[in-house]
Structure 1
Amino acid sequence: MDQVTLLHNPRCSTSRSALDQVESAGVEAEVVRYLTAPLDEAALRDLVDKLEDPVTDLVRRDAAFAALGLTDDDVATTDQVVAVLAEHPRLMQRPVLIRGDRAIIGRPKERVPAFLSD
């Protein structure tokens, strides 16, 4: 089985749950705290290419999103999502799990075990 990369925010309970599930499954993982080590444009494009979810789902629509004056129209395309996340990494949905040529957003939490066992 390929190593899993977990794009992780330790302040997020769903992200902490994903890390617990990875560890419980005995899967080797690289944990990337994407807020302290943000993905650059190339890494974001690589992630988007692997993502099984709609690319626009990678952007959190939270208070920070609204405070920046962003709307769904600002993150409707791959290029827009990459640009927004490169500038504002805190808007990335979490957790994100990557293995080989596949990636998922680990929400809801129940998606993680199936991804780890595939």
Structure 2
Amino acid sequence: MIKVLHNNSCSKSRAILEHLDENNVQFEIVDFIKNPLSKMELKTVLKKLNCAPSEIVRKNDQEFIDLNLDLETITNDELVDVLYNHPNLIQRPILIKGKIAMIGRPIENVKFFIGK
């Protein structure tokens, strides 16, 4: 089963859910806006994505711009704190299958991911 970290206000996230449903892929939705991830869960997701926190930040989001963060100087732990307190800044959707995860874009990558 695939776990989908989902933000319902995101059209790409909704489109991935539709794609999974149309292809009869079993999935569990985790609305991380209504039910925020703990800091430990965020770190686990990052490990499964095999990336640094800066790689899942929505850098063009107005909330990020307003926070005036410098990704060159902020530590990973500090950035996890920011993502914990501002979950809207997390790229979405994120698909998790076992010990691996991916950001659900582009759709071609999702098709490959669910096929494995």
Say yes or no: TM over 0.5: yes
What is residue 64 of structure 1 aligned with on the other side? 63
Gaps of 5+ in 2: none
Aligned residues: 115
The separation in 1 between residues aligned to 2:99 and 2:23, in whole angstroms, is 20
> Secondary structure at the residue paired with 2:47?
helix
What is residue 24 of structure 1 aligned with on the other side? 22
Deviant stretches of 4+, over 6 Å: none
Deviation at 1:82, TM superposition (A): 1.6
Which TM-score applies when normalising by structure 2? 0.88
Q: Matches of residues 65-80 of structure 1 in structure 2 within 5 Å? A: 65-73=64-72, 77-80=75-78
> Secondary structure at the residue paired with 1:5?
strand
Report the CA distance shift for 1:26/1:105 in structure 2 as closer, same or farther (over 3 A): same
Which TM-score applies when normalising by structure 1? 0.87
The separation in 1 between residues aligned to 2:27 and 2:5, in whole angstroms, is 10
Deviation at 1:72, TM superposition (A): 2.2
What is residue 89 of structure 2 aligned with on the other side? 91
Contact 2:5/2:95 (8 A) holds in 1: yes
**Residue 111 of structure 2 corresponds to residue 113 of structure 1:** yes
In angstroms, what is the RMSD of aligned CA positions?
Answer: 1.7
What is residue 39 of structure 1 aligned with on the other side? 37
Contact 1:53/1:105 (8 A) holds in 2: no
